[in-house]
Amino acid sequence: MSATLLLAQLLNGLQYGVLLFLLAAGLTLVFGIMSFVNLAHGSLYMLGAYAAAIGYGASGSFVLAIVAGMAAALVVGLVLEVSIVSRLYRRDHLDHVLATFGLVMFFNELVRLVWGPQPLFVEVPQVLAGTVDLFGFTYPSYRFAIIVAGLLVAVASHLLIQKTRVGMLIRAGAQNPQLVGALGVNIGLLNAMLFGVGAMLAGLAGAMAGPVLSVQSGMGEPVLITTLVVIVIGGIGSVNGALYAALIVGVVDTLGRVYLPMLIRLVAERSIADAAGPALASMSIYLLMAVVLALRPQGLFPARRG
């Protein structure tokens, strides 16, 4: 019984971690090349979720819904890149924070204005409504599909970055953007492309999260802040670091919420445990981050820099 609970929670943690990775990958790459801090990444996630929810309602096809979510986030991401973000690359982080903070306020309010404050509910598609059998252990198909999709994206991005010419430019850009620009590569275009891909992945995460979480205004911010924790733990600018850190954070957070209250109950009285358990559990990833930073300020898997 306990073993199946542990397995289920591990898979839940993995599923959460995979969603975090989809967000972290785009964010960390844009930071790696252009040192841009994008708080509005959570808004792209939210827009992806809304577009998918509406696309699903209109078409009834979940594949189309995913495409709609990704396309919406891609378009909005590119518009933002061209109109606002690309003007801010040379400024310092404070300007990035201010501009994207304003964007977050704008998008949250826009969504509230158009679709109201009530959350939208998205049903799990018929095909994935059942459970899968993993060596005699059952797990919801939809959550399993999220894990598979996320890991596929991770593999694809690894291949893209390590094996293709564009990937080579991305790696070079992360190490020394000025030099890459001086060699005749259009670094602005490269970054606009990366920003777009990052936005698309955020949209994908939002579209997939729709049936698991509620789709509402402001849904992007909690997950964005957790994503920032992931990036800091993983080492800013490193996609591999983002993957490992996302999985670590997903698992620690999920297991922490289940097991920390139980563990504390073993050593403390019930009344204390009931109070301290949930408090500690909700803080677990931040404590993890504080420990990582105290020991390795550059993160666990930092990108190599020239």
Three-state secondary structure string covering 106-133? HHHHHHHHHHCCCCECCCCCHHHCCEEE
Q: Does 275 bind another protein (CB under 8 A)?
A: yes
Instruction: Identify which range of 143-151, 167-175, 188-196, 275-283 contacts another protein by CB under 8 A.
Output: 275-283
Number of residues that bind another protein (CB under 8 A): 49
Amino acid at 114: V
The torsion region of residue 125 among left (phi > 0), alpha (psi -120 to 50) and beta comes to: beta
Q: Does 142 bind another protein (CB under 8 A)?
A: no
Q: Does 304 bind another protein (CB under 8 A)?
A: no
Q: Which is nearer to another protein, 52 or 226 (CB)?
A: 226
Instruction: Identify which range of 4-12, 140-148, 181-189, 224-232 contacts another protein by CB under 8 A.
Output: 224-232
Instruction: Identify which range of 8-16, 125-133, 248-256, 286-294 contacts another protein by CB under 8 A.
Output: 286-294
| Torsion sign over Cα 103, 105, 108, 109 | negative
Q: Does 99 bind another protein (CB under 8 A)?
A: yes
CA-to-CA dists, residue 180 to 165, 167, 168, angstroms: 13, 13, 11
Q: Which is nearer to another protein, 17 or 277 (CB)?
A: 277
Q: Which is nearer to another protein, 22 or 103 (CB)?
A: 103
Question: 10 Å Cβ neighbour count for 119?
Answer: 14
Q: What stretch of H or E contains 287?
A: helix 270-295
Q: Does 221 bind another protein (CB under 8 A)?
A: yes
Q: Does 118 bind another protein (CB under 8 A)?
A: no
Measured at the CA of 47, the angle between CA 108 and CA 252, to 5 degrees, comes to: 90
Going residue by residue from 12 to 51, which x/- string records binding to another protein, judged by CB under 8 A? Answer: -------------------x---x-x--------------
Q: Does 163 bind another protein (CB under 8 A)?
A: no
Nearest to 242 by CA among 13, 36, 27, 38: 27
Q: How far is it, in rounded angstroms, from Cα 232 to Cα 177?
A: 21
Of 92, 127, 138, 159, the residue at the interface with another protein (CB under 8 A) is 92
Q: What stretch of H or E contains 134?
A: strand 131-134
46 contacts 107 by C-beta, under 8 angstroms: yes
Q: Which two tokens stand for residue 94?
A: 């404070």
Q: Does 108 bind another protein (CB under 8 A)?
A: yes
Of 105, 129, 179, 182, the residue at the interface with another protein (CB under 8 A) is 105
Q: Does 272 bind another protein (CB under 8 A)?
A: no
CB of 222 to another protein, least distance (A): 8
Computed over its alpha carbons, how large is the radius of gyration of the chain? 20
Interface residues with another protein (CB under 8 A)?
Answer: 31, 35, 37, 84, 87-88, 91-99, 101-110, 112-113, 221, 225, 228-229, 231-232, 236, 275, 278-279, 281-283, 286-287, 289-290, 293-294, 297-298, 305
